[in-house]
Amino acid sequence: MLDEAVIRRTLDAALRAGAGFAELFVEDVRATSASLDDGRVEDVVTGRDRGAGVRVVVGETTGFAHTADLGEAGLLAAARAAAAVAAHAPGGAARSLGLGTAGGVSRGPAAEIDPATVAKADKVGLLRRADEAARASHLDGLAAGDGIVQVAARYSDSRRRTLVANTEGAFGGDEQVRSLFSVSCVAKGDAGLQTGRETVGRSAGWELFDRYDVEELARTAAGRALRKLAARPAPSGTLPVVIASGSGGILFHEACGHGLEADLVAKGASTFAGRVGEQVASPLVTVIDDGTMAGEWGCYGIDDEGRPAQRNVLIEDGVLTDYLWDFLRARREARPSSGNGRRQSYRHLPMVRMTNTFIGAGASDPAEIIASTERGVYVAQLGGGQVNTASGDFVFGMTEAYLIEGGEVTDPIRDGNLIGNGPAALAAIDAVGDDFAMGGPGTCGKDGQGVPVGTGTPTLRVPALTVGGTAA
């Protein structure tokens, strides 16, 4: 992406402030999106964003500057600006540049079919096919006139190329291609308006749509909305909750995962601070963050600090084993980075972030988990929620859920909330299925930055969570 000599001169300019560390991050993103709402194509947008960020560290002070000018003059100006910010701190002496090949040139999973080679008309065609399939969906037993009244669909693809070089010897590049399709439906009936949604997203190219049928995705979204027209009110009170495979990862990502990020641990904003080696979850629970999972939404070859993606076991058999680390925090602790330094774009500083975070498979038969639950709630899909990352207290919406009665999944229930505490829920889990699955794609927000992440779980049971419904 840049000539090596230019990279060396840029880093050399950054070091002149007496910096102990300097880094150049270059990014080039091309993206296309298209959306359809109520039968009309709303927009088809293609864009490109490219630029570089320079980080300079003197002592405990960080200087940062970014530029959209990838010419040598623009890069040198950014390097000098970042160095000027950091120069006021007491710090190390000037040092020589140690540009090496520690990172190498890496790649995420290669796209079989580059989305940029696919006509925009074909991408819009996916939206129209989904709209028609959703509107044609119907369930037996519904009253005449009940049905889907509104459909929204969205397509997007992106290709992100990055280059990282720093004075610790990292010098590497990465390329990530992602494609996404989502459908949301509104059904109307005697129960009013009900919604359903389905999304698929992978680190893959146009071949994604050889693996997933957009009409089937649309029928799934429509079915969720239609079933809720005859749904019973969600119960209220403390009940056993069985969470379907793939669907509960977002809850534990938000309520527990952030507490395992080293920056929040260092700030004292985590219930897991200072607890490495302690039992913090049920012995049935193993929590893993894995940026190497080919095809998953949060995978990459190297992180945004040039460190290779890794598989990091954070909790093993209920025991806290480690946190997630970026490069600078790891260096302060004289330990290696875990490959979790990520940033939204070249305009942002990297920070500790999750990748694909999940609870590993257990040994229980999912059917037996349900059969051994006399009365409770079966959650097939979770929606958005709110979390206090310091305490782990959460409220999450259930967008598809059913009653469990007499050990069987019975009637659908209307949207309600799950209320609880993430670390307490981890500790209480009393059954973990052998049917692990990853969930849909997500965007994780932290300190104003969003990055793509994946989540997953097997079927699991929490014996007591507060369900916020309207039925007694």
Q: How far is CA 170 from CA 142, 434, 470, in A?
A: 61, 40, 56
Query: What is the pLDDT, as a whole number, of residue 16?
Result: 82
Q: How far is CA 125 from the centre of its chain?
A: 27
Q: How far is residue 452's CA from residue 443's CA, in Å, rounded to a whole number?
A: 5
User: Is-contact 454 442, C-beta < 8 A?
Assistant: yes
10-residue mean pLDDT profile of the chain (472 residues): values are: 93 86 97 96 96 94 96 97 80 45 52 95 97 93 83 98 94 96 94 92 97 98 94 94 94 92 93 96 98 96 96 98 96 94 98 98 98 97 86 92 97 93 95 97 95 98 91 60
- Collapsing DSSP states into helix, strand and coil, what is residue 354? coil
C-alpha dihedral, 392 to 397 to 299 to 64, nearest 10°: -60
The CA angle 379-295-389, to the nearest 5 degrees, is 50
Q: Is 334 left (phi over 0), alpha (psi -120 to 50) or beta?
A: left
Q: How far is residue 408's CA from residue 410's CA, in Å, rounded to a whole number?
A: 6
Q: How far is residue 134's CA from residue 193's CA, in Å, rounded to a whole number?
A: 15
Find all residues with CB under 8 Å of 186, minimum gap 6, and list them: 148, 149, 150, 151, 193, 194, 195, 225
User: Is-contact 32 46, C-beta < 8 A?
Assistant: yes
Q: Is 167 buried (19+), middle (13-18) or exposed (0-12) by CB count in 10 A?
A: buried
Amino acid at 328: L
Among 422, 423, 401, CA closest to 412: 401
Among 404, 42, 415, 418, CA closest to 196: 415
Q: How far is CA 403 from the centre of its chain?
A: 29
| In the chain, domain spans | 4-30+46-105, 115-162+174-230, 237-468
Q: How far is CA 425 from CA 267, 323, 341, 395, in A?
A: 23, 19, 28, 13
Query: What is the pLDDT, as a whole number, of residue 97?
Result: 47
Tokens of 97: 């540049």
Q: How far is residue 95's CA from residue 390's CA, in Å, rounded to a whole number?
A: 39
User: Is-contact 466 238, C-beta < 8 A?
Assistant: yes
User: Is-contact 462 369, C-beta < 8 A?
Assistant: no
Instruction: Cite the DSSP H helix spans in 98-175.
Output: 120-135
Residue 246 — φ and ψ, nearest 5°? 85, -20
- Collapsing DSSP states into helix, strand and coil, what is residue 83? helix
User: Is-contact 53 66, C-beta < 8 A?
Assistant: yes
> CATH number of the domain at 115-162+174-230, please?
3.30.2290.10
Query: What is the pLDDT, as a whole number, of residue 103?
Result: 45
Q: How far is residue 206's CA from residue 177's CA, in Å, rounded to a whole number?
A: 10
Query: What is the pLDDT, as a whole number, of residue 394?
Result: 93
Query: What is the pLDDT, as a whole number, of residue 471?
Result: 65
Q: How far is residue 326's CA from residue 385's CA, in Å, rounded to a whole number?
A: 27
Query: What is the pLDDT, as a whole number, of residue 382?
Result: 92
Q: What is the β-pairing status of strands 104-105 and 171-189?
A: parallel
Query: What is the pLDDT, as a whole number, of residue 329?
Result: 92
Query: What is the pLDDT, as a whole number, of residue 469?
Result: 74
Give this prediction's pTM: 0.94
